[in-house]
Homo-oligomer: A and B are copies of this chain.
Amino acid sequence: MPVLVVGSVALDSVETPFGKADDVLGGSATFFSAAASLLTPVQLVGVVGADFPLEKLKALVDRGVDLAGLEHAEGLSFRWRGRYSHDLGAAETLETHLGVFSRFSPKIPEQFRNAPFVFLGNIDPRLQLEVLNQVKRPRLVACDTMNFWIQSRRPDLIELLKHVDLVTLNDGEARQLSEQVNLVQAARWIMNCGPKHVIIKKGEHGAFMFNADSVFFAPAFPLESVFDPTGAGDSFAGGFIGYLARTGDLTDANLRRAVMYGSALGSFAVEKFSIERLLTVTRADVDTRVRELRQLVAFEEELRA
């Protein structure tokens, strides 16, 4: 089944201790699509400026990403420049040029409006709500957000949460949104706003999925070298929703498997700049990494006489 993603398509310039890359593909919808398209067809809605090197998106099209919803606007594309220090923790943002993204108003093409799975990437919650007004009863709606919207658009974000089934956010954002230090309490606070499932991403420390009556934890794959953390969260979301869309199964058991696919795709994303690694990885590679993640936490209970 197809998944519809609405989010940013950007040009990133990134410096890490291991190198730098200029004007490479970035943005939440880009990373999400690169990951999800390994598992299921993807329908992308976003905007690029007249300066955008469209040929760079061909690899996504070849993988089954439908760009019918990618608006080509007058003006400059969204550009982000960031730097990671030696510990590869949070990026330091050096420059952000919203360009055409500042006037983005998502228009969902008619043929995308029946998408059974919808991912609202990290954009203004008012725009995320606009998307929901255009789609027809999807089976699952998930959204992401960030500190900027939590601070500047809190009422809209709270309104959005009433209309989504699942939210993904990182630990700092979960704490900021809920004003709870403890993640279990933060997740409960967020679920009380509406979503049935809350996924709290902790980067190299793995991810929690909280449901009404259970908690699941997926470890992050212990990579020997992390090259560029940009896009790990959106790739995680792409793996997660992509797996759900491929299987069409929303049972708890399958949601757990989906989180493992999210973790696997997130781990591939950081192995190279931009979506480079996601474009070379195969379905077999992904399945292998999920099995490795399973081995990482596997233990047998004691046999009792």
Residues of A participating in the B interface, judged by any CB pair closer than 8 Å: 86-88, 181-185, 202, 205-206, 208, 214-219, 222-226, 247, 253, 256-257, 259-260, 290-291, 294-302
A260 to B299, Cβ gap below 8 A? yes
Q: Contacts A205-B202, A208-B222, A222-B208 known; A217 to B297 CB distance under 8 Å?
A: yes
Chain B residues with Cβ below 8 Å from A205 are 202, 205-206
CB<8 Å pairs between A and B, sample of 22: A87-B181, A88-B181, A182-B226, A183-B222, A202-B205, A205-B205, A205-B206, A215-B222, A216-B297, A216-B299, A217-B219, A217-B222, A217-B296, A217-B297, A218-B297, A219-B219, A247-B302, A253-B300, A257-B301, A257-B302, A260-B299, A297-B297
Q: Nearest Cβ distance between residue A179 and chain B, in whole angstroms? A: 12
Interface hub of A86, A247, A299 (most chain B Cβ within 10 A): A299
Chain B residues with Cβ below 8 Å from A216 are 296-297, 299
Q: Nearest Cβ distance between residue A208 and chain B, in whole angstroms? A: 7
Q: Contacts A206-B219, A222-B208 known; A86 to B297 CB distance under 8 Å?
A: no
Beta-carbon nearest neighbor of A203 in chain B: B205
Chain B residues with Cβ below 8 Å from A215 are 222, 296
B224 to A184, Cβ gap below 8 A? yes
Number of copies: 2
Q: Nearest Cβ distance between residue A244 and chain B, in whole angstroms? A: 12
Leading 9 A-B pairs by shortest Cβ distance: A256-B299, A205-B205, A297-B297, A184-B224, A217-B219, A217-B296, A184-B222, A257-B299, A217-B297
A184 to B223, Cβ gap below 8 A? yes
> Of B181, B183, B214, B297, which one neighbours A219 at CB under 8 angstroms?
B297
Beta-carbon nearest neighbor of A222 in chain B: B184
A224 to B301, Cβ gap below 8 A? no
Chain B residues with Cβ below 8 Å from A259 are 299
Beta-carbon nearest neighbor of A260 in chain B: B299
